[in-house]
Structure 1
Amino acid sequence: MKNKFHTYLTCLFVSGLSVIVFSCSNTRFLKEGQMLYTGADIKIEDDTISKKEKNNLKTALEDNLTPKPNSSFLGLRPRLYFYNITKEPEKEKGFRYWLKYKVGEKPVLLGDVDREFNKDIIENHSENKGYFNARATYDTVSKNKKAKVIYTVRPGARYLISSVKFQKDSSLVNQEIQNLTDKTLLKTGKPFDLDVIKTERERIDNGLKEKGFYYFHPDNIIVQADSTVSKNHKVELNVKLKDNTPNLAKQQFTIDKVIVFPNYNIQDVKDGKYSIPMNTDSLSKYAYNDIYVIDPKHTFKPKIFDRALYFERGDLYNRADHNLTLNRLISLGVFKFVKNEFIVSDSLNHKFDTYYLLTPRKLQSLRLEALGRTNSANYAGSELNLNWTHRNFFRGAEQFKASVYGAFDVQIGGPKDANNIFRAGANAQLSIPRIVAPFRFHSSSAFVPRTNISLGYEFQNRTQYYTLNNFNASFGYVWKENARKEHDLKIFDVTLVSPANVTPKYDSLAQNSSALRRVVERQLIFGPIYTYTYTNTMMQKTNTVYYRGMLDLAGNLTGLFTGANVKKDKQKEIFDIPFSQYAKIENDFRFYHKFAEKTSFASRLIAGLAYPYGNSEHIPFSRQFFAGGSNSIRAFRARTLGPGSYDPRTQPDGIFFDQAGDIKLELNAEYRANLYKFLNVAVFADAGNIWLVNEDPERPGGKFSKNFLSEIAVGAGVGLRLDFSILILRLDLAMPLRVPYYEKGNRWTFDKVNFGDSSWRKDNLILNIAIGYPF
């Protein structure tokens, strides 16, 4: 085995070296007279502008030059090499075509570069940035069949804005423009910049859209620049309406009729007209409050549109309410397409009707899912799910989901005395698109708030050990302030765990383990759970963050009213079942930094604490923290790490159970890069552990102490991610670098690494196969 492993590494090394060596000789494939284009250099020669201005101008100019040279890695061009060595395929498919045109890259030659065109681009862009006297020249440098182009730019002094004037006239639209001048982006003393001028026109247009000028357009504004009236490289700006601005663009419009087609189909339109007459008499029978809902089959209750629409008859048009209404209609989740049209109904009084053309999704769907899985705890299995969804359950866009499922996991390695797991269950959830409460809840968010009611049951059988019956029910609300902030409040969440068929074998094992006994105890957990989520990861920014905070309060009021104190008395019970009392808080913070389009750094910090008190001495097993596995510390098998420095190897043979803790601290970091299209690579490091709040004699070293840093586990590894758009298949190979249950002073494992030893690889190389990114 050792010799085979070394042979494999040698072959891999030689193959990689061959690619590197031969990619250096791409020029040997060029024809006579051809030269490989290696890129452009821009030199800015001017002593009147600062170093920062030179760098900014140079970067912007380089981005505008075409074409781009062949992609390179560490100065080499492997993609060009694959193109060159692959023969021309006979068909536009197959492996050879894929290798040459998908993996490979066609050479970019000097003859492909239009240097005069690039020179014009440089001069035009420089002028747009205020360098009105910019001039550029170019020269070509070649050597060994490679060539690059050097562009020399003499920009001259940059022109600054000396004054900004918003020209006045008597029109209504001009009066509104004057009201917007206090927040202008055109500032005296700032450089002339065409991009800023374009943004200023869009700013004015956005402001006018909020004041009813629906038909206005940024192109209706002209910004005149005059550099002749001032000396010392100054320019005066004059902002005015174009003389040919259409009269319609100058008018302020109000809403006349609001008409909704909730079952819209393109077939409803014939010769550009709606098949249903639009006169007032025909609409009257569809009236609901101040809107008209054209729904002859009564598929939807009209009140859902009354709550979603922000336009009312007589309102002055504004873009904010326009977009808000569209977003709320989409967030109902029942419409596949949402379209809005405005049609002038009274040109004299400047009124238009607003039409909402809504194409519903399929109201019902039935989906069968089958999947196979394996995990690092030596289990493999399968799961079958049957899901039914109704998106308009009570005709008010209520979404009802019901599912039944069955799953099994078979232990394929690890402890000799293996046991298998079988699960089956059903759950149902009703999501109502409003807050159902005795109080009034008003939200002006673009997202419709929801009331969620759920009910579920799961049967779990661990062969040779026990059977558990799990019941769960919850009632709560979900609402979003905006696209970044979401609140999830479960006013009541109850879980009942009822054991059955606990085998004598498990009883004998549990006699010496309180942790095992707690797994099969009857448990009643109830109380509120609040979760807050903030994220801006959807934004196109270099740095983005994600935060999720959760607060779980179980049995608090009940414990207070009953005077529960497990340290003094027997546990209080409800229906002869002891109820849990604890407080749990968990924080998940993530930071992402984007180096390039497909290259980024991701990190995550998890900190959590669960504290039992009153009626509980321990946290219920299902609400504790766990560490290890494909989405945690990947160098350790799922739920086998911790607590603290407890050594799981001290467990008697035949006992295997998930390690759980009351405190969790975890830090993950990952560098992600794209190798080729769907193939991504990652290098990662994970650190952390779990601990107990109270001492457990059966798990020595598990309690949290001031020496917790010495009990941090560390792992690292590499991974491949296959991004198939509809899913991401992740393969992470990790190894432990620091093991907390080793002797102090001997917990780092660098000196124990031995890739050539098969037994070391078996115990230390952990392969995690999962769907999606770990964070």
Structure 2
Amino acid sequence: MRGSFSLLCNWAKIGLMLLMLAMTSCNTLKKVGDDELLLTKNSIYADEEKITDSDIKNLIVQKPNSSVLGYPLRLNLYNLAKENPDSSFQNWLHRKEKREKRLNNFLSKKQVTRLKESFVVSGASAFLKRIGEPPAIIDTTLAQKSVDRLEAFYSSKGYFNNSGSFQVVNSKRKKRAEVEYHVALKKPFMIDTVQKNINSVQLDSIYDKTAEQSLVKAGDQFDLAKFNLERERLTSLFRNSGVYNFQESSINYDILRDTSEVANDQLMDVQLNIQQPRSADTTAIDSEYRVHRFKKVNIYADYLIGGSLDSLKSVDYENYTIYYNNELKYRPKALTDAIFFEKDSIYRDLDRIRTYRQITNLNTFKYPNVEFIPDTTQAQLISNIYLAPRPKFSLNLDLDVTHSNIQQVGTALSATVITRNVFGGAETLNVSARTSIGLLSDASLSNETFTSEIGGDVNITFPRIWFPLNTEKIIPYYMLPQSRFLVGTNFQKNIGLDKISLNTVLSYNWSPTISVKNNVELLNVEFVRNVNPDNFYNVYQNTYRSLDDIADEFQDDPQYASFYEETESIVDPLRLSIPEGANSFAQAILDNQIAVSSDTLSIVRSIEERRDRLTENNLIFATNYTLSKNSKTDINDNDFFQYRIKLESAGNLLSLLESVVPYNKNDDDQLLVFGVPFSQYFKTEFDFIRHWEIGNSSVIAFRSFMGMAVPYGNSESIPFVRSYFAGGSNDNRAWNAYELGPGRTDNINDFNEANLKLAFNLEYRFPIAGDVKGALFADAGNIWNVFDSEDNPDAIFTGFNSLADIALGTGLGLRYDFTYFVFRLDVGFKTYNPAEEGSDRWFKGYNLRNAVFNIGINYPF
């Protein structure tokens, strides 16, 4: 396997060298004519001040060819394509007198004709043109169009009398030039007064209440963008104040001055006009904007498109009328709680949006259809909400093929049965089962060849806060509240120490706004039992080798012969037997039956403490709260931030109950619940992500993570499942997962973990060609032990001096965007390794042989 990978790397190097050779040998000006100029740069000056605003620069119609790190990759790919591959093939075919005849005899005349249309002859050129980019030849027509755009833009900012021009500046390099755009702004127009002309008394009254919030104010410079925002604000204001049919097109502004005249004051009066709705029938009630109230709200709980509504039964519940077919399958309150329209209340667009969101949140109905019917005699509305139910039952199946450091290859199958509206309150019940089987990577870890895992969960979701006290005033339904109760179990065989885990979660989540989410896990109980603790030294080979190296000094002493077993190795014919020999040898040293140095005693004590910790069963009784916010508006938004704050506490409730119900204790004076010491700790995390779009579809992405878990009371360390690790495809990509740290230590354990973590990632993402994108990244961070039982000074965080142990990995990556997901390949190099000494920390092993390759799906942050 290693030989195959090395061969693959060598071929990759050769392919990369050939590609670079082809690129560098390609002439950038190959397809630029003698009387043409290649555009290399655009510059914009407003009153001689250089403009750097990306929004203004995007007004330029013609842009230079894109580049990757300054190299015009797509242009040179385009230049590699032949202009007339068919003609070139014909010239080659007839260059020698008998070549076509020999080729026809060898392939047949029909196949030679097809060869002309093949990928080798014409397809390659078509592909290069498709992923490449033609040279940006300076076009004065497009330059003038850019000037017109700039003039229009600055006119929208109040510079009505501005004038623009462009200038082609030849470069010192052959056939290349820049284009400079100059705009003379002149004096801007200012708003002197804002008048109003509103043809509706009710609209006028609503407007006066919020007039101070207007974005168009006297004394401000004219800005068309503010006028558009004010139109949006007023439309939202009226539609949330009862005017259900208000149209933004009814709002316009008049400028009460001839802006073509230049004067000293450059002042202008503005008039706001709000007209009546356009209607052919001017006598109709809806021909005038009025505040509407709800006369009646109808809910159709079993709506079928095209079905008859006459045969439906109905029931009245709290000023709502619910229509259903045969039998009402839902509790009325479950339906009315999702509707934010109320009888006699005014119409609000916000209530309409909240109704759509909450009905969707029920996960019981398809996207609803909400209808508003105005009363023909009064300013009243009848609302009909049509709910089409989803299927009662559905089945999801997933099949995955996996690979890890434990499994050479694994197959996982999972099935989930979804049952909707379980108790009539739009509850959703998920019953899932999963199983997997895999081939062990290292047969020495077990007597078996295969690994297996089986598990299942029962998960029920309530579309409300399921709590003894009424929380509706604190968390109203428009915040999309949900309660989730989960019970699950999992059985592992030949994976680690063969674990059995049981977990129970009672959680609540709600969203005050679209961008903010809250989650409270009131109860998170996890019990982990290690079925095969005697397999510890087989799984944690590094730990075993450290102990066996110490034991080599005593292997010739007959009184310790029972600790050893013979091997077939010439270098190490005797080794500690697992588990009896290793456990007995370590205990003999700790009991002072074998005399060793103080340093050796410390190493053995650390090994034994780690074995006890990783083989002991865990009971985690935790509560946590998570707050997250994401400013991303849509999938195309590349300029946003998001953060997540998490607080978790474990063991406090069980500790308090000890005064009421005394617990038993073990030899270490730990309190036991069901014979297991429960974990007690406090944990906090902060995760921050920021993306900046820097033009040309390029993005700079930054991530910072800080997390710490402090054990206390009944615990001296954090459970393995709640600790931190460093390295891997979503962390520091120059190290494999669990290989980095803690601190200055050099991968001393097979799975290195600790209770303090700092991580910082910076990535520059840029397009290469088509759906292929590239990235340059720098990952920094490490893990440390703090406030726990660890006594290795190299692994402990002691203050600012420990920040010198932050590892740095740099590298590059390739991505292919499949629209729905991104396939990612990253190559990381150890740039600064704190496990080394002195100057060896920098760039030691900075080569492809020591690089770490990571494959992932979607971006790491």
Report the Cα offset of residue 249 of structure 1.
Answer: 4.7
The runs of 5 or more residues in structure 1 that have no matched partner are 269-274, 652-656, 756-760
Give, in angstroms, the shift of residue 258 of structure 1: 1.6
Structure 1 distance, partners of 2:132, 2:190, is: 48
Distance in 1 (alpha carbons) for counterparts of 2:713 and 2:408: 38
SS of the residue corresponding to residue 294 of structure 1 reads strand
Structure 2 gap segments, 5+ residues each: 86-115, 280-285, 536-577, 587-607
Shift of 1:450: 1.0
Match of 2:856 in 1: 770
* Distance apart, 1:208 and its partner CA: 1.1
Which residue does 2:554 correspond to in 1?
Answer: none
Match of 1:728 in 2: 822
In 2, Cα distance between the equivalents of 1:326 and 1:92?
Answer: 53
Matching residue of 2:237: 207
1:260 and 2:285 matched: no
1:149–1:681 distance in 2 versus 1, CA, 3 Å = closer
Counterpart of 1:578 in structure 2 is: 677
Of the three residues 223, 236, 251, the one matched with 2:269 is 236
SS of residue in 1 equivalent to 2:841: coil
Name the aligned partner's letter for residue 624 of structure 2: I
Contact 1:66/1:113 (8 A) holds in 2: no
Q: Quote how far apart the aligned CAs of 1:439 are.
A: 0.6
**Counterpart residue number, 2:717:** 618
Q: 1:88 to 1:438 in 2, by over 3 A?
A: farther
Q: What amino acid is the match of 1:515?
A: R
Matches within 5 A, 1:33-112: 44=46, 51=49, 55=51, 62-68=57-63, 70-72=65-67, 77-84=72-79, 85-87=81-83, 95-96=123-124, 99-106=127-134
What CA distance in whole angstroms lies between the structure 2 residues aligned with 1:292 and 1:677? 55
- Percent identity over the alignment is 28
Match of 1:716 in 2: 810
2:245 is the counterpart of 1:159: no
Residues 423 and 459 in structure 1, CA contact (< 8 A), matched pair in contact too: yes
Change over 3 Å in CA distance of 1:444–1:693 after alignment to 2: same
- Whole-Å Cα distance in 2 between the matches of residues 502 and 767 of structure 1? 33
Structure 2 matches for 1:646-657, cutoff 5 A? Answer: 646-649=745-748, 657=750
Larger Rg: 2
Amino acid corresponding to residue 156 of structure 2 in structure 1: N
Distance in 2 separating the partners of 1:187 and 1:325: 35
Indicate the residue corresponding to 1:684 in structure 2. Answer: 777
Structure-2 change in CA distance of 1:162 and 1:366 (3 Å): same
Which residue number in structure 2 is paired with residue 654 of structure 1?
Answer: none
Q: Is the 8 A contact 2:47 2:182 kept in 1?
A: yes
Question: Which amino acid is 1:260 matched to?
Answer: I
3-state SS in 1 of match to 2:694: strand
Does the aligned pair in 1 maintain the 2:638–2:699 contact within 8 Å? no
* Residue equivalent to 1:372: 401
Superposed counterparts of 1:623-772, under 5 Å: 623-649=722-748, 657-693=750-786, 701-706=794-799, 707-743=801-837, 745=838, 748-755=841-848, 761=849, 764-772=850-858
Paired residue for 1:499?
530
Q: Distance in 1 between matches of 2:41 and 2:142?
A: 13
* CA distance in 1 between partners of 2:527 and 2:276 (Å): 74
Q: Which amino acid aligns with 1:740?
A: P
Q: Which letter does structure 2 place at the counterpart of 1:526? A: F
Q: Which amino acid aligns with 2:414?
A: N
**Shift of residue 36 of structure 1?**
6.0
Q: 2:428 aligns with which of 392, 396, 399?
A: 399
The alpha-carbon distance between structure 1 residues 73 and 307, as it changes in their structure 2 partners (threshold 3 A), is same
CA distance in 1, matches of 2:813, 2:199: 65
Residue number in structure 2 paired with 1:248: 287
Q: CA deviation at 1:324?
A: 1.6
The offset of 1:211, in angstroms, is 1.4
Check the 8 A contact 2:491/2:501 in 1, yes or no.
yes
Q: Contact 1:67/1:112 (CA < 8 Å) preserved in 2?
A: no
Residue 194 (1) aligns with residue 224 (2): yes
Name whichever of 513-522 and 378-387 sits farther off: 378-387
Rounded Cα–Cα distance in structure 1 between residues aligned with 2:373 and 2:489: 53
Give per-residue Cα distances to partners, 1:355-409, cap 9 Å, x unaligned: 2234444443322222222346785433222222233333332222222212345
Stretch deviating more after TM superposition (686-695 or 215-224)? 686-695
Corresponding position: 1:315 with 2:338: no
Does 2:508 align with 1:477? yes
1:485 maps to amino acid? V
Aligned to 2:484: 452
**CA pair 696-476 structure 1, distance change in 2 beyond 3 A:** closer
Query: Aligned residue for 1:531?
Result: 626
Question: Which structure shows the bigger proportion of residues in strand conformation?
Answer: 1
Q: Is the 8 A contact 1:494 1:527 kept in 2?
A: yes
> Structure 1 pair 204/254, CA: closer, same or farther in 2 (3 Å)?
same
Q: What are the equivalent positions in structure 2 for 1:242-391 lying under 5 Å apart?
A: 242=275, 246=279, 248-268=287-307, 275-277=308-310, 285-296=314-325, 298-344=328-374, 346-375=375-404, 380-391=409-420
CA distance in 1, matches of 2:447, 2:736: 16
In structure 2, C-alpha distance between the alignment counterparts of 1:258 and 1:530, rounded to whole Å: 38
User: What TM-score results when the alignment is normalised by the length of structure 2?
Assistant: 0.77
Stretch of structure 1 that moved more, 629-638 or 311-320: 629-638
Cα distance in 1 for partners of 2:436, 2:207 equals 65
8 Å Cα contact 1:216/1:249 also seen in 2: no
- Name the amino acid aligned to 2:852: I
TM-score (norm 1): 0.84
Distance in 2 (CA, whole Å) between partners of 1:6 and 1:523 is 47
- 1:406-425 to 2 correspondence within 5 Å? 406-412=435-441, 421-425=451-455
- The amino acid of 1:590's aligned partner reads I
| Cα distance in 2 between the residues matched to 1:118 and 1:617 | 68
Map Cα deviations across residues 599-652 of structure 1 (whole Å, 9 max, x no partner).
222222222222222222332222222222222222222223333333445x7x
Letter of the 2:23 counterpart: V
| Correspondence for 1:758 | none
Closer, same or farther: CA 689–411 of 1 in aligned 2, 3 Å? farther
148-157 or 295-304, which moves further after superposition?
148-157
- 2: CA distance, partners of 1:438 / 1:666: 41
Shift of 1:354: 1.6
Indicate which of 7, 19, 29 corresponds to 1:15. 19
1:456 to partner: Cα distance:
0.8
Q: Tell me by how many angstroms 1:97 deviates.
A: 7.3
CA distance in 1, matches of 2:415, 2:857: 20
**SS in structure 1 of the partner of residue 130 of structure 2:** helix
Aligned-residue CA RMSD (Å): 3.8
Q: 1:213 to 1:73 in 2, by over 3 A?
A: same
Partner of 1:24: helix, strand, or coil?
coil
Structure 1 residues 650-683: Cα deviation after superposition (integer angstroms, max 9, x where no partner):
x7xxxxx422222222222222222234322222
Q: State the alpha-carbon separation in 1 of the partners of residues 287 and 710 from structure 2.
A: 66
**Larger displacement relative to structure 2 (399-408 or 705-714):** 705-714
Provide the rounded CA distance (Å) in 2 between the counterparts of 1:708 and 1:258: 65
Quick one: distance in 1 between partners of 2:305 and 2:64? Answer: 47
Deviation track 1:476-522 (CA, whole Å, cap 9, x = no partner) reads 21222222222222222222223334447346545643322333323
